[in-house]
Structure 1
Amino acid sequence: MPTTVFPLDSGKRFTEQRIVGHNRWHPDIPALVQVRPGDTFRVDCREWFDGAIHNDDSADDILNAPLAGVHVLSGPISVLGAEPGDLLIVDILDVGPIPQEDTGPLAGQGWGYTGVFATRNGGGFLTEQFPDAYKVIWDFRGGVATSRHVPGVSFTGIVHPGLMGTAPSAELLRRWNAREQALIDTDPQRVPPLALPPNPDSAILGDLTGGEFDRVAAEAARTAPPRENGGNQDIKNLTKGSRVFYPVFVEGAKLSMGDLHFSQGDGEITFCGAIEMGGFMDLHVDVIKDGMAKYGVSENAVFMPGRTDPQYSEWLAFSGTSVTLAGEQRYLDSHLSYQRACLHAIDYLQQFGYSDIQAYMILGAAPIEGRLSGVVDIPNSCSTVYIPTEIFDLDVRPAKDGPTRIDPGPGVPTASAR
């Protein structure tokens, strides 16, 4: 097993560890760990809420989740000799749940969860249809996920980090904050908000203290969105065997990672929509000197996906176009057309006995495929969502005899935000 350079004790909170990570992006967060090009090493990762979500049948913890404190990231890790303008090569050699701990209070110890936030806390992709807080617990066995809250479904995990990236330069950080604040200013009272500005509340910044902590906390960017440094991209295909090329913006690159997922559908449409867990990553790093200029990669990571995707071969696909539920025509709005495709899938699955929220949770957690199928035929874009039919215990394909209905069981725990 590779040497663990960023260990986490499952019996302690994230801020009580021997090496404390961070939950903001800023170039001045110190790198407390250093590796060399060519090194192979292990990093432990805590579930993104640091244990605030529990294995029970209540959604109150999702409704009251400590959103100001996410994501708890392992890092920054300095790569010796990496300089601005380089490309950092990161090979994901292995990634999985918390090893050798099959049961326990932390997500990753034999279980994980999928959640939908209330609209006031960010909602999800379909927040107008699902404005409250919801939670589904998934149990892991032999690489397969099942849930007492969504019966009749099981699927092989597609384990990956939701978040990994390098630190921004001071200039890049200023650009992030300026453009996101400009967006907020267009509708400052919007619920959910258009963006998340810097917020010192619950900031974790490695070993910074005093005035330096206060300065960085006031400037540092939140980790919620993906940006030029990678970040919270939620790409389900960054699995074991992937190779990622990250732009380097600061000395040492300052690589960080976390937000591990046992499985996820394309888009992570429920927001907390993957099966969230803690675990480990085995990584190998190297550097391409002046790689950003050599390959024209001035921003955003380039990657080679792994080869460990579940081998599903039969799919049922749903399509949607850029027309609102009220019948309003929108111009080539792929976001809207993907929403409509997802809603069509939810309508369909309800005919088999699932509730609307159970169907929504399936789309968020199972390894569905989302595609932009047509983006040139004005005025309608066309998006599609592919669901593997093999994940269901019953046959969900259309047939002359009509749909077979399942027993939906106790359903999805819900906490009303109204």
Structure 2
Amino acid sequence: MLKPLALSLMMFSGLGLATTQVSAEEFKLLKQISAQPTLLKNGEYKGNYYVPSTLKTITWGYLPNKDAKPVLTIPSGSTITFDTVSHEGLLEDQGRDAEKYFTSKGVKPEQILPEAKLITGSKLKHDFQKDGPHVITGPVYIEGAMPGDILKVEILKIEPRVPYGVISNRHGKGTLPEFPKRQKHDHASPENPEAYGNVSIFTPIEKNADGVWEGVLQTESGKAIRFPLNPFMGTMGVAPNTSEPVHSVPPSFYGGNIDINDLTAGATAYYPVQVPGALFYTGDSHFVQGDGEVALTALEGSARATFKISVLKSGKDKIPGQSRTQPLGENAEFWITPGLDEDLDEAMRKSTREAIRFLVNEYGISEEIAYAYLSAATDFEVSQVVDKTKGIHAMIRKADFSEFTDTNKK
């Protein structure tokens, strides 16, 4: 079991943030396995395809579109591991200097991912005001995937690559317009990040006495708030059929920044394929997120994500809820039907309509019965309200349909 992280608290005068020292001996950094996308032939991930985050395999602020060049081609049914890099600690309002930012928080240089330093030290263009914040890894071409098919993404494992993350609140981005309560100045720049007036809270993670991962938020009194982790990828999806740039912030029918915190290890996501090869990508790793994600970000940090990716052929393979025009999720207990819209009320309506459609097609019941069931027994959760397009998703309990399983097996 990992020993608790050494915490040496002090207040950082620029943003009033807690700074902690993180010992390199207490966490094994998940370093890049290979400099190139490849099939791994040895080691812990032997047999997996692998995609690192390099300047050749990432985009910053935008998702792949139909013209994106795939960084790797894999057969349907493959297991693939992505090393992703969080944007938190890399952005302009944090100085666009990963090493400087994290060392100012007590992180030792050897515990900062080389990829993070490479990205912020590169000439890769990124406009803080215009572009999305996310570092997106991919895309990967899946053999046999064609428009009309469904890409099935089984989430096998999400592993923190570093023992820390960041929670940020930026002007005009969170739920409450009065936060952050710091003035923004016109002379804000990466050289003068404090002038943005934004707030980023550096947050270590550690294992408690029971071996359970926790986030550790130090408060002004010196006492810590400790909360369990639940890692997931905020962004997963397929390329839309467009040549236009696809901003990384708003989620849509192709997936993207959907931020559903139930899509953790053991869950499965389904995406309607829009272009040949599907062009799957991922990024925006979260160590944990509350429903709503009200401040703007959750506890976000770099993670290693391992998936099994399969193509479900339209008209041939069993597709949950039959044909699909938007993402679907499931885990051992629930079917998850998202609703996405800039208006939260309309997102609720869309999630409800999709839940009804799913129940009718999957279990052969009437719309009236499905609607009644949802009202009586289904929780609708707010995934996030801060990504321009807001999200609500229905949590449909599978156990309630146990009498249907003989004729409606996955």
Q: TM-score, normalised by structure 1?
A: 0.53
1:162 aligns to 2:225 (yes or no): no
**Distance between the aligned counterparts of 2:267 and 2:246, measured in 1?**
27
For the structure 1 residues 130 and 306, does the alpha-carbon distance in structure 2 shift closer, same or farther, using more than 3 Å as the test? Answer: farther
List alignment gaps of at least 5 residues for structure 2: 1-43, 95-100, 107-119, 121-125, 183-197, 208-212, 334-343, 348-378, 383-391, 393-410
Offset at residue 270 of structure 1 (A): 1.1
Offset at residue 370 of structure 1 (A): 8.1
* Contact 2:58–2:136 (8 Å) recurs in 1: no
1:233 aligns to 2:258 (yes or no): yes
Deviations 1:244-284 (A, max 9, x none): 1111010000000000000110121111x211111111110
Equivalences for residues 33-44 of structure 1 within 5 A: 33-44=72-83
* Contact 1:45–1:74 (8 Å) recurs in 2: yes
Offset at residue 293 of structure 1 (A): 10
Give the letter aligned to residue 163 of structure 1. T
- Which of the residues 295, 300, 311 maps onto 1:270? 295
Equivalences for residues 202-281 of structure 1 within 5 A: 219-271=244-296, 273-281=297-305
Question: Which residue does the alignment assign to 2:174?
Answer: 124
1:113 aligns to 2:198 (yes or no): no
Q: TM-score, normalised by structure 2?
A: 0.54
**Aligned to 1:224, what secondary structure does the other structure show?**
coil
Question: Which residue does the alignment assign to 1:66?
Answer: 128
State the percentage of identical aligned residues. 26
**Aligned to 2:167, what secondary structure does the other structure show?**
strand
Kindly indicate whether structure 1 or structure 2 has the higher relative contact order, using CA contacts under 8 Å at least 6 residues apart.
Answer: 1
**Distance between the aligned counterparts of 1:21 and 1:6, measured in 2?**
13
For the structure 1 residues 57 and 306, does the alpha-carbon distance in structure 2 shift closer, same or farther, using more than 3 Å as the test? Answer: farther
For the structure 1 residues 306 and 225, does the alpha-carbon distance in structure 2 shift closer, same or farther, using more than 3 Å as the test? Answer: farther
Offset at residue 152 of structure 1 (A): 3.6
List alignment gaps of at least 5 residues for structure 1: 9-13, 99-108, 171-215, 308-331, 336-368, 373-382, 384-418
For the structure 1 residues 89 and 334, does the alpha-carbon distance in structure 2 shift closer, same or farther, using more than 3 Å as the test? Answer: closer
Give the letter aligned to residue 76 of structure 1. P
1:80 aligns to 2:143 (yes or no): yes
- Which of the residues 65, 69, 84 maps onto 1:45? 84
**Aligned to 2:288, what secondary structure does the other structure show?**
coil
* Contact 2:89–2:166 (8 Å) recurs in 1: no
**Aligned to 1:153, what secondary structure does the other structure show?**
strand
For the structure 1 residues 244 and 238, does the alpha-carbon distance in structure 2 shift closer, same or farther, using more than 3 Å as the test? Answer: same
1:305 aligns to 2:355 (yes or no): no
Deviations 1:126-150 (A, max 9, x none): 1235454222111111211102247
Deviations 1:66-86 (A, max 9, x none): 352532111111110010000
Question: Which residue does the alignment assign to 2:336?
Answer: none
**Distance between the aligned counterparts of 2:58 and 2:224, measured in 1?**
41
Question: Which residue does the alignment assign to 2:375?
Answer: none
Offset at residue 298 of structure 1 (A): 3.4
Give the letter aligned to residue 255 of structure 1. F
Equivalences for residues 18-417 of structure 1 within 5 A: 19-21=57-59, 23-49=62-88, 51-52=90-91, 53=94, 54-55=101-102, 56=104, 66=128, 68=131, 70-98=133-161, 109-119=162-172, 123-130=173-180, 132=182, 133-142=198-207, 143-149=213-219, 151-170=223-242, 219-271=244-296, 273-290=297-314, 295-305=321-331, 371=381
Question: Which residue does the alignment assign to 1:6?
Answer: 51
Offset at residue 371 of structure 1 (A): 4.4
Number of paired residues?
Answer: 245
Give the letter aligned to residue 152 of structure 2. I
